[in-house]
Structure 1
Amino acid sequence: MAQSRRAVVVGGGIGGLTAAVALRLHGWEVTVLERARSLAPVGAGIALAPNSLRALDVIGLGDEIRDLAAWQGDGGLRTPGGRWLSRSSASAAAERFGGPLVLLHRATLIDSLAVRLPPDAVRTGITATLADPGTADRPARVTTPDGELEADLVVGADGIHSAVRRALFPDHPGPVYSGFTTWRVVLPLPGTEFASHETWGRGHIWGTHPLKDGRVYAYAAAVTPAGQRAPDDERAELLRRFGDWHQPIPAVLAAARPDDVLRHDVHHIAKPLPAHHRGRVALLGDAAHAMPPTLGQGGNQAVEDAIVLAHHCADLAAYTAARLPRTTAIARQAVRVARLNLMTGRSGTAVRDTVMAALSKAGPALFLRSFDGIADWRPPQRPYAAGKTPADNR
């Protein structure tokens, strides 16, 4: 009997767990090492576009997530005063890209991935260090406080400040500050009806979206120096910045408690890595190509990475060839979009809003074109039912 191949995944987030599930379906023995004491993610939502849902179809999870998530309905872009600059059509987007955009809590996706792994496959509260990336003739080595693990494949899925990335590419400058900070909140908002929207002000963004369980996912962003924090609490900071914007923003802020609000400065990898692999180690997600959230593709690209990595697990150069050009282009587009929707000048903002309104009158197809080549992506392998292996699908 052939000896099973062993993979060690460093990082138990969405990308790492997707890779672990996909590799197991390809016959790998997988161990996930997560530094946090649990897999429970921070309290925030995630939007999954048709591209990542098709990737999840490959591991038999797409339909489950579509059922658990809220399908984004019609909505659009607004000004702080409430005027609609543009309207979006959910049906037009689904027709163009072959499926819906869905929203759910990150914890829901994490739970759905984690239950597809044996309980002993995931080890939390473990700090892992890449000791040796390995070669074609030598396994990679990962050290932990409990000892050393050898692996035929190590997956670096340890986030934007990835230690695995630094070990592979010590001369790379790493992430840089994107120029803005974000706030996120998930909470119940009974009795308040609204359409999904994103609102652009001068150097500020707010978005509000309903989840399927009745809660609301809201996020905000503002151009600020790095490292700033509210003098009192972040809910109070949001009230100062967004309290006079249109409904349901004041209702969300009235319902939020200070502890509900998460704040994080946004960083991205401005200089692309020379490769997404070295030796027997592959990087994915934010560890490989952290990008601003302005296209909503960070988590989606991590899922894509994981599925493509499992497909090319015997040839990591092919994995880099498949992923590096695509993720570099999407990351650069996300930076350009951030400059547009977070511009701070009064005259530039007025011109931006006028152009957006004119484009909306020309029809939704003009807006949807910006996601051509992104949301219509398809994985390199066919979907198969949960419990089957790729061999069963031939």
Structure 2
Amino acid sequence: MRVVIAGGSMAGLFAAALLRKAGHDVHVYERSHAGLEGRGAGLVAQQEVFDLLHEIGRDEVAQLGVVAKERITLASDGTIAAAGGPPQMQISWDHLYVATRMQIPDEAYHLGRGAIGAGQDAAGAWLELDHGERIRADLVIGADGIGSAVRRSMMPDAPGPRYTGYVAWRALVPERLLPVSAADVLSDRFAFFHLPGGQALGYTVTGANGELTPGQRRYNAVWYRTTPDLAATLTDRDGRVHPYSLPPGAVRADAVQEVIASARAVLPRPFATVFAAESQPFVQAIFDMEIARMVEGRLALIGDAAFVARPHTAMGVAKAAGDAMALARAVDLGWTPEARRAFEAVRLRTGHAIVDYGRRLGASLG
């Protein structure tokens, strides 16, 4: 079967790796010109990720990560108010991305070619790209994220993502830049701080090239903040308003200074020093999104193109892996009406459950 995938991040890569392993002719079209390596930090892998890695023969990827020896909750003065819980490993997003990307030949992974629409006719399905080309296939998979063009083509009247009222400010700082006082509290721990209308959390992750040696690793911090004026927050250095997030380097200088000053005012000192050490913080608006269907004939949706859950669930990559494995099984069965219905029923139920779980976890924030 000839399969075309819109979106080359985790969901698209997972589906492509599985389908190519099964012998299908698969091509991935990714909007980014430079690729996605280096954009991720660490992730808490769920069972679906381990299962997928096993299916594509890359079990070793799950072994590269930093173990948080315990979970701690900080008091406002920076001391540890509570500690406990079992050790937990955060694997490297970058390493997972690279390992999966290596399963796809360069000639089948097309950068700088974003999807703007999709459709189907009696001869099959097609994906329309932003430079005017139309790619035909037996199956088109929308793995193109929260702003999915494939989803809009399938369901033009669907409501789309709903802003929850808060954003996540993120910092990814080389461990060597942290003051000793902060590193002594935060390194090798999964740390939390709760405040009215907000939450901060953080954990140690591998270095940019997978380094595990203390001092060569990075610290990943997230600060959830209530933000009524989303357009102002997502206005970049050039005055352009982005719909969902601002990447590193795009945040206005005045906004960077405001985040640092606010962190010093309301966060415990260890967390405040992380944001003070980050010269290029980035921001992600938090959305909920659910859909009524994931399949329409020869068009299918997976990952964040289908359901967007709040990141508190730590299940985004697991959801993508589960979608990809279920879809691959349906394709192996010939993508028959029965196979399509079975895929959709299972993954719709899972997607709704994860989004609902995210709402409960984030209820105090927005």
Gaps of 5+ in 2: 212-216, 234-250
2:143 is the counterpart of 1:124 = no
CA contact (8 A) 2:29 2:114 kept: yes
What letter is aligned with 2:285?
D
| 1:20-76 deviations in Å (ceiling 9; x for gaps) | 101111111110001110222563424132323323333335532222222333113
Q: Post-superposition shift, 1:142?
A: 1.5
Q: Determine the C-alpha separation between the residues in 2 that align with 1:103 and 1:77.
A: 22
CA contact (8 A) 1:53 1:62 kept: no
What letter is aligned with 1:72?
A
Q: Determine the C-alpha separation between the residues in 1 that align with 2:354 and 2:309.
A: 8
Compared with structure 1, are the counterparts of its residues 233 and 56 closer, same or farther at alpha carbon in structure 2 (3 Å cutoff)? farther
Q: Determine the C-alpha separation between the residues in 2 that align with 1:185 and 1:63.
A: 29
2:276 is the counterpart of 1:273 = no
Question: Which residue is equivalent to 1:10?
Answer: 6
> Of the candidates 182, 186, 193, which is equivalent to residue 199 of structure 1?
193
Question: Which residue is equivalent to 1:165?
Answer: 151
Compared with structure 1, are the counterparts of its residues 62 and 217 closer, same or farther at alpha carbon in structure 2 (3 Å cutoff)? farther
Compared with structure 1, are the counterparts of its residues 79 and 312 closer, same or farther at alpha carbon in structure 2 (3 Å cutoff)? farther
CA contact (8 A) 2:11 2:320 kept: yes
Q: Which has the higher strand share?
A: 2
CA contact (8 A) 2:37 2:98 kept: no
Q: Determine the C-alpha separation between the residues in 2 that align with 1:231 and 1:27.
A: 47
Q: Post-superposition shift, 1:291?
A: 1.4
Q: Determine the C-alpha separation between the residues in 2 that align with 1:132 and 1:173.
A: 20
1:40-119 counterparts in 2 under 5 A?
A: 40=36, 43-60=39-56, 63-82=59-78, 84=80, 86-91=82-87, 101-104=89-92, 106-119=93-106
Q: Determine the C-alpha separation between the residues in 2 that align with 1:48 and 1:133.
A: 37
SS in 1 for 2:261: helix
Question: Which residue is equivalent to 2:203?
Answer: 209
Q: Post-superposition shift, 1:198?
A: 1.8
Q: Determine the C-alpha separation between the residues in 2 that align with 1:60 and 1:127.
A: 26
Question: Which residue is equivalent to 1:141?
Answer: 126
What letter is aligned with 1:331?
V
State which drifts further: 172-181 or 231-240: 231-240
Q: Determine the C-alpha separation between the residues in 2 that align with 1:61 and 1:204.
A: 40
What letter is aligned with 2:295?
H
2:232 is the counterpart of 1:228 = yes
SS in 2 for 1:291: coil
SS in 1 for 2:350: helix
Question: Which residue is equivalent to 1:179?
Answer: 165
CA contact (8 A) 2:5 2:26 kept: yes
Question: Which residue is equivalent to 1:96?
Answer: none
CA contact (8 A) 1:55 1:62 kept: no
Question: Which residue is equivalent to 1:372?
Answer: none
Q: Determine the C-alpha separation between the residues in 2 that align with 1:13 and 1:239.
A: 30
Question: Which residue is equivalent to 1:34?
Answer: 30
> Of the candidates 20, 24, 34, which is equivalent to residue 20 of structure 2?
24
2:327 is the counterpart of 1:339 = no
Q: Post-superposition shift, 1:302?
A: 1.2
Q: Aligned-residue CA RMSD in angstroms?
A: 2.2
CA contact (8 A) 1:185 1:217 kept: yes
Q: Determine the C-alpha separation between the residues in 1 that align with 2:77 and 2:269.
A: 9
CA contact (8 A) 1:292 1:335 kept: yes
Compared with structure 1, are the counterparts of its residues 53 and 231 closer, same or farther at alpha carbon in structure 2 (3 Å cutoff)? closer
SS in 1 for 2:126: strand
2:188 is the counterpart of 1:188 = no
Q: Does 1 or 2 have the higher relative contact order (CA < 8 Å, sep 6+)?
A: 1
Count of equivalent residues = 323
Q: Determine the C-alpha separation between the residues in 1 that align with 2:271 and 2:118.
A: 48
Question: Which residue is equivalent to 2:272?
Answer: 250
| 1:151-206 deviations in Å (ceiling 9; x for gaps) | 11111011101111010011211011111011112121224232221211111211
> Of the candidates 238, 260, 277, which is equivalent to residue 239 of structure 1?
260
SS in 2 for 1:133: strand
Q: Determine the C-alpha separation between the residues in 2 that align with 1:309 and 1:86.
A: 43
Compared with structure 1, are the counterparts of its residues 48 and 151 closer, same or farther at alpha carbon in structure 2 (3 Å cutoff)? farther
Compared with structure 1, are the counterparts of its residues 283 and 46 closer, same or farther at alpha carbon in structure 2 (3 Å cutoff)? farther
Q: Determine the C-alpha separation between the residues in 2 that align with 1:161 and 1:41.
A: 20
CA contact (8 A) 2:64 2:91 kept: no
TM-score of the two chains, using structure 2 as the length reference: 0.81
